[in-house]
Amino acid sequence: MCKNNSACYKKLQFAECSVMELKKTYPVSWVVMQNTIQECFKSMSIDEKRLLILASPVARTSNATEKDSITITAESFAQECNIKTHSAYKSLEEASKSLIKRYFCYLDEKGRKTYCNWVIRARYEEGSVSICFPDEVLLMLKEFDKLNPYTKYKKDIVLSLRKDYSFDFYHLAKKHQAMGKFEISLEKIRTEFGLPESYHDLSNLKKRVINPSLEEITANTDIDLTYENVKKGRSVVGFKFTVREKPTPKLIVPERDQNTVDMFRSLSDNQINMYSSILSKVSSISDLAGAKDYQAFAIWISNILRDPKSVREETAKRIFKALRTETDFKD
């Protein structure tokens, strides 16, 4: 667990990949992090986690260094996290201020305890924050191999979660998805999640942390997550979680949809701006807006028109269908 005045005694592995080894690459729509980073940020606020998740693909795809600033705008923060734009300004500033105060500890290659801030520098200006990560954090966001085990998931899925501990349970579930199950002791869940004393009571832990988190994950993500008690005698000492991937829905769509992606690539910027504004007020897709206002929803739609693969296929197809049936667009 890592927070302001605690240490994460995890040995960071600065192993270089062989020159001949092909590094895996992932698009910006995916969050990919070494498991070490997840084990350290569990005590962070939900907005701090969101900021790290949004910065992660940028750091990876731009091959950022300590000198490079990664900028996240309040507008994109609101859009990606499905919150009101005016709320995003404050959330983004507070998250960046909290991150720069946080540090973690690791043992270097010589076994020396080394302390490191999560963020070297944070600059907040006119609706955006620019942050610089140290090499240690950048390594955890960029290097993925057998020596640096990692977990990956779709960015839009994890950012749809809104409860404090859902992020942590989702990452654990995706980490163990191939095995289909994992166990965690009662003591470990309390310490690694950075839970306050009020959650040391078992019934309160289940009611306030485990049950609402698992319900949200099952309702809003690509997996079903359930659990059962692990007992020693009559006492509960931990939990066994079961992870099941949801079946991909088979969509029956008109043949025209087979060329939808190519069709949207032919749209000009002016067309995208115009039709995204129109679609933001269309009732047939209004449920996709969540808490977004018209402006934020229009920006979200415009990003899909530019890159249909940035969201789930069924979501993109609903946008495409609305464009064809609810506007004057002619292909």
Q: Which residues pair with 121 in a beta bridge?
A: 132
- DSSP label of 10: B
Domain that holds residue 310: 255-326
Pair 321, 254: CB distance under 8 Å:
no
* Domain closes at, from 247, 281, 298: 247
Residues 19 and 146 in one domain: yes
Q: Where are the beta strands (DSSP E) in the chain?
A: 30-34, 70-73, 103-107, 113-117, 121-125, 128-132, 150-154, 181-185, 223-232, 235-245
Confidence of residue 19 (pLDDT cuts 50, 70, 90): very low
- Does residue 290 fall inside a structural domain? yes
Residue that terminates a domain, selected from 115, 130, 156: 156
Distance CA 231, CA 170 (A): 24
Q: 135: which residues sit within 8 A by CB, 6+ positions away? A: 65, 66
Complete DSSP assignment for 242-258:
EEEEPPPP-----GGGG
Provide the token pair at 283.
Answer: 């009732």
Question: Is 54 a residue whose pLDDT tops 60?
Answer: yes
Q: Is the pTM of this model over 0.95?
A: no
Residues whose CB is less than 8 angstroms from the CB of residue 282 and which lie 6 or more positions away in sequence, other chains included: 322, 326
The whole-angstrom separation of Cα 85 and Cα 198 is 33
Instruction: Give the number of other CB atoms < 10 A from CB of residue 309.
Output: 11
Q: Look at residue 250 in the predicted model and tell me its pLDDT.
A: 57
CATH number of the domain encompassing residue 96: 1.10.10.10
Do 52 and 110 reside in the same domain of the chain? yes
Does 39 have pLDDT greater than 80?
Answer: no
pLDDT of residue 182: 96
Task: Examine the domain organization and report whether 134 and 32 are in the same domain.
Answer: yes
| Residue 134 to residue 120: CA distance in whole angstroms | 6
Same domain, 114 and 239: no
Mean pLDDT calculated for residue range 126-146 = 89
Identify whether residues 12 and 144 lie together within a single domain: yes
User: Among 223, 247, 271, where does a domain finish?
Assistant: 247
User: Is 306 a domain residue?
Assistant: yes
Cα–Cα distance for residue pair 267/330, rounded to 1 Å: 11
- For 16-20, 43-47, 223-227, 236-240, which range has the lowest pLDDT when averaged over its residues? 16-20
pLDDT digits (tens, 9 = 90+) for 178-217: 999 999 999 999 888 888 888 989 999 999 999 999 999 9
The reported pLDDT for the residue numbered 8 is 52
What domain count does the chain have? 3
